[in-house]
Structure 1
Amino acid sequence: MKILWVFAHPEQRSLNGSLMAEGLRTLEELGHEHRVSDLYAMGWKAVVDGEDFGGSTRERLFVGREQERAYRERELSQDIRAEQKKIAWADALVFQFPLWWFGPPAILKGWFDRVLVQGFGFGVEGPGGRILRYGDGGLAGKRALIVTSVGARESGFGPRGIHGSMEEVLFPLLHGTFWYTGMAALPPFVVYGADRLTESGHSRDAAALRERLRTLDTTEPLPFRHESGGEYDEDLVLRPDVAPGLTGVSAHRARDGETPRGPRERERPGAPTRSRTR
């Protein structure tokens, strides 16, 4: 496999840095190819602005429209285009970051904002003019894995934990970013109690990460429902017979023993033909 490892931690000598080094060694041992985007080391610019789109002066900046225009006309800034080439090359993407305020560091959020532009990651048109989202889209066919660390104990992220379940905490990434753009979201790999991790705990978590990477191509993705699978109505609301009685984020994940319907159309478009906002 070809793996892009996107690393968002300011310190290479951190727990996260050591786990990335362990992970990359494992990928090499398994015969996989890998590339790394170390965002802090790259000095990645985290904010979207007019310079992303060729620096042309306009009366008003419409971000989605300008993203798609600049992508189509090859006027996106060089740093964005370099990351998109890495994504196009990869079969799977690993996103590693410490969980800060229940989300990724700002530098990684900025990577998503600037790289997954309209026309490339989303807003892609399929057959019949249907916009491809949630299981389809510009990045369909790729896998995405989160590797993250938290200072809290695992129990706090359990079914009745005060922080909420980890899958729900990460729902904006797993469902709203990965699945929205078509990537199959794998169950996240989480190191709990990172601030008080012992040497034996580090060895345990490093071994667990190695095992997750060995099964990167076979692990079952989270069973999110396809927008085009017939389970949503025209207003993008689940039909009454689907997950009756369930509301919130859990309704969009197939229950144990249930198989979500696949997309009705699996064709991938050659190029976007019109703009869509998200």
Structure 2
Amino acid sequence: MNVLIVYAHPEPRSLNGSLKDFAVRRLEAAGHTVQVSDLYAMRWKATLDAADSLDGAAGPRFDPSLDSKRAFENGRQSEDIAREQDKLRWADAVILQFPLWWFSMPAILKGWVERVYAYGFAYGVGEHSDTHWGNRYGEGTLAGKRAMLMVTTGAWDSHFGPRGINGPLDDVLFPIQHGVLFYPGFDVLPPFVIHRSSRVDAAGFDAASAALGERLDTLFETQPIPFRRQNGGDYEIPALTLREEIAPGRSGFGVHLA
């Protein structure tokens, strides 16, 4: 199978760098083909702007969505964007690997998403009607592929526990797992997370590598997070709210799990 690792850490000798190298070796040893988009090494341009289209802005002012759509449809995207889209088409599974900085992904990875997820590629696809509101949240260009987050954080696991001060980790990662990955169609696997990253010593790295190896070995068998499909009947369309009889009296991120 084909696996793409989108890696976002500026130091190759970091814990993240070592885990990335381990992941590549483990996956290749299992017979998979691996590509790595090392965003810092690539000097990835993080800002979405008119230069993302080879023709520049279509009108007197730059319109991020419509200019993205025009460039994608006409094959006039910046070469780096088109290249990453080709990698996503090629991949059977995608791993986003990053340190959790300020409760989200590093800016360079967010910029990768904003630029590569062009209108017509990752959003703005499919029929919009009273019964079907676009191919998204379980449908879309990337449907049938798997995705997983590989995340390090300096915080203790208790800090992200059900009553931890940082909030439950599932809630912190929800915008990425549900919004960035499930939205364009990925089957999203439970994340692989390492806590107290600055305290990982040689023994800790061996333990982390062993745990990561087990996850990678079952990358194509692990059950994905059971997010509700937008067009599967659970949501009122076009309001896109859960039907009253589903999870009555409840709200929050958890209601979007079947």
Verify same fold: TM over 0.5.
yes
The residue that corresponds to 1:108 in the other structure is: 109
| CA distance in structure 2 between the partners assigned to 1:126 and 1:185 by the alignment | 23
Shift of 1:66: 1.1
Q: Report which stretch shifted further, 62-71 or 52-61.
A: 52-61
- Cα deviation per residue 1:3-45 (whole Å; 9 max; x = unaligned)? 0010000000000000011100000110000101000000000
| CA distance in structure 2 between the partners assigned to 1:12 and 1:107 by the alignment | 16
Alignment of 1:1-278 (within 5 A): 1-57=1-57, 58-126=59-127, 130-234=133-237, 235-254=239-258
The residue that corresponds to 1:272 in the other structure is: none
Contact in 1 for aligned 2:4/2:95 (Cα 8 Å) = yes
| CA distance in structure 2 between the partners assigned to 1:85 and 1:238 by the alignment | 35
Shift of 1:108: 0.1
| CA distance in structure 2 between the partners assigned to 1:247 and 1:210 by the alignment | 36
Count of aligned pairs: 254
- 1:147 partner SS: strand
TM-score where L is the length of structure 1: 0.89
The code of the aligned residue for 1:236 comes to: L
Unaligned residue ranges in structure 1 (runs of 5+): 255-278
**Which contiguous aligned blocks of 4+ residues in structure 1 show a shift greater than 3 angstroms?**
126-130
Contact in 1 for aligned 2:55/2:76 (Cα 8 Å) = no
- 1:125 partner SS: coil
Shift of 1:127: 9.0
TM-score where L is the length of structure 2: 0.96
Shift of 1:62: 1.3
- 1:221 partner SS: coil
Shift of 1:56: 2.6
- Cα deviation per residue 1:238-271 (whole Å; 9 max; x = unaligned)? 01111112101111112xxxxxxxxxxxxxxxxx
Q: What is the RMSD of the two structures over their aligned residues, measured on CA atoms?
A: 1.2
Shift of 1:116: 0.7
The code of the aligned residue for 2:240 comes to: L
- 1:230 partner SS: helix
- Cα deviation per residue 1:109-164 (whole Å; 9 max; x = unaligned)? 00000001110011111497751111001111111110010001111111111111
Shift of 1:206: 0.7
- Cα deviation per residue 1:185-237 (whole Å; 9 max; x = unaligned)? 11000000101112211111111101100000011110000000111112000
The code of the aligned residue for 1:166 comes to: L
Unaligned residue ranges in structure 2 (runs of 5+): none
| CA distance in structure 1 between the partners assigned to 2:249 and 2:92 by the alignment | 37
Q: Percent same amino acid at aligned positions?
A: 49
